[in-house]
A and B are shown apart, each in its own frame.
Chain A
Amino acid sequence: MGTVWLPLALSLKVALWATAINLVLGVAVAFGLSRWRSHARELVDSILTLPLVLPPTVLGYYLLVLLGRRGVFGEWLDRLGIQLVFTWQGAVIASTLVAFPLVQKAARAAFEAVDPQLEDAARVLGLREAAVFFRVSLPLAARGITAGALLAFARALGEFGATLMIAGNLPGRTQTLSVAIYAAVQAGDDRTAGIMVTVTSVTCVAALLLAGWLAPAHLRRARP
């Protein structure tokens, strides 16, 4: 059974890290974009959406070019003792990049749906901008952000292409569930592949159901 649970545990670890990083990064970028009044805003938004439309192998290639031993930042990372290629941390980077637009887009929509008058009310009541964010904007956008984070989690869990490019397929070290499925099918081990496919499907469906339940329609019903 270790052939199933080891990749599952690794996949969950990678997906949780990727989701956590995106919750901070995606929410921060989304909030900045939702308040930024500039014509360049939609251009930046399009660039940030690229990971959603580019083939994951292309993203993986870019990551290798940037972070690999002979990559742009390779020498610099090497000196810091950071090794991303063929490590599970590399898989986290790949999953984070691929899932980023899902959190960013959901969070931006949620922030833009917050009534600006409520933020003004908080300012007049004596709050600084950071306090307005943590006490009004963020709680009111929380459901939308959570829905985006669950989608990102499901996406990160299923990440294959970019992960394979940067982290490879090292059983027990970087072999995530989706990579293990491919390996099992290649090896003709249909039984193991079948179990892993079922586990992945159930986990992703559960995350999607949760995301649907937290979607904006539910939020509107709870409001006046």
Chain B
Amino acid sequence: MSVDIAIRKTLRADDRHFELDVAFASAHRRIVIFGPSGAGKSLTLRAMAGLLTPDEGHVRVDGRTLLDTRMGVDLPPRDRGVAYVFQDYALFPHLTVAQNIGFGLARGWLNPRRRFHDDRVRRWLDIFELAAVADSYPVRISGGQRQRVALARALAAEPRLVLLDEPFAALDPALRGRMRGELMALQARLDPPLLVITHDPADVEALDGHTIEVRDGRVV
């Protein structure tokens, strides 16, 4: 797995002005972008996923060019093969746990059916011990379960890279430690390359990957 990115973007909102200029390359299976909030970590992640278009630069994953402003390449998010786990998980409130996990497996105009579970969905429900809440809605499950649903939903699409935005910030401290362990165990078992952003030094220590520090929109 290799990630190679260099992006520049100037953001203006009212009288504020932010310059994002991040570049790094890594072949590590676990990349951790560390920095205080407002450093531009989430913007970097959004640019990798195709949710934000940089003014210039490139994003390459495994040698595949997802974005290159000079070559005029800018793949839409759906074609990037990159999964995104949002900070507060962004689970679809109108869909059950099983429907959320199977969401990306159905590409048409209709959501997965409520009562029928695809084999692949059942496999992910088992891996994440979510079978008991398969037909529950996201409001009805615990914080830890919500995170597992978000991870299962991201992994079900078989991405080349999983981006995680502050994956433990929404959890209470006791659960945080356990979920860090779960994420590490998961990677040992399934080998999805991870790129995690965090402001928490404890995450950096626990994840023990290639750490890239970002401050004021730049790699330190």
A residues with a Cβ closer than 8 A to B are 115, 117-118, 120-128, 130-131, 134-136, 139-140, 222-224
Contacts and interface: CB of A to CB of B under 8 A. Distances in A.
Contact of A135 (B77, B109, B157): B109
25 contacts: A115-B90, A120-B84, A120-B86, A121-B92, A122-B92, A123-B50, A123-B76, A124-B51, A124-B83, A124-B84, A125-B153, A126-B104, A127-B104, A127-B107, A130-B109, A131-B108, A134-B109, A134-B110, A135-B109, A136-B92, A140-B94, A222-B139, A223-B139, A224-B93, A224-B139
A122, A131, A135, A222 — most chain B CB neighbours (10 Å): A135
B167 interface: no
B78 A118 contact: no
Contacts of B138: 224
Contact of A139 (B51, B86, B94): B94
Interface residues of B, number: 27
Top 9 A-B pairs ranked by shortest CB distance? Answer: A125-B104, A121-B90, A123-B77, A124-B84, A126-B78, A134-B109, A224-B139, A117-B90, A124-B77
Given A115-B90, A118-B90, A223-B139, A123 B51 contact: yes
Contacts of B139: 222-224
Contacts of A123: 50-51, 76-78
Contacts, number: 69
B103 interface: yes
B111 to A, nearest CB: 5
Interface in B86-120: 86, 88, 90, 92-94, 103-104, 107-111
A122 B106 CA distance: 11
A121 B108 contact: no
A135 B105 CA distance: 13
Contacts of A125: 78, 83, 103-104, 153, 157
Interface in B50-85: 50-51, 76-78, 80, 82-84
A125 B50 CA distance: 12
B3 interface: no
B20 interface: no
A125 B102 CA distance: 10
Contacts of A223: 93, 139
A6 to B, nearest CB: 41
A123 B92 CA distance: 13
Contacts of A124: 49-51, 77-78, 80, 82-84
Nearest to A133: B109
Contact of A131 (B49, B83, B109, B153): B109
Contacts of A126: 78, 104, 107, 157
A120 B90 contact: yes
A126 B104 CA distance: 6
Contacts of B92: 118, 121-122, 136
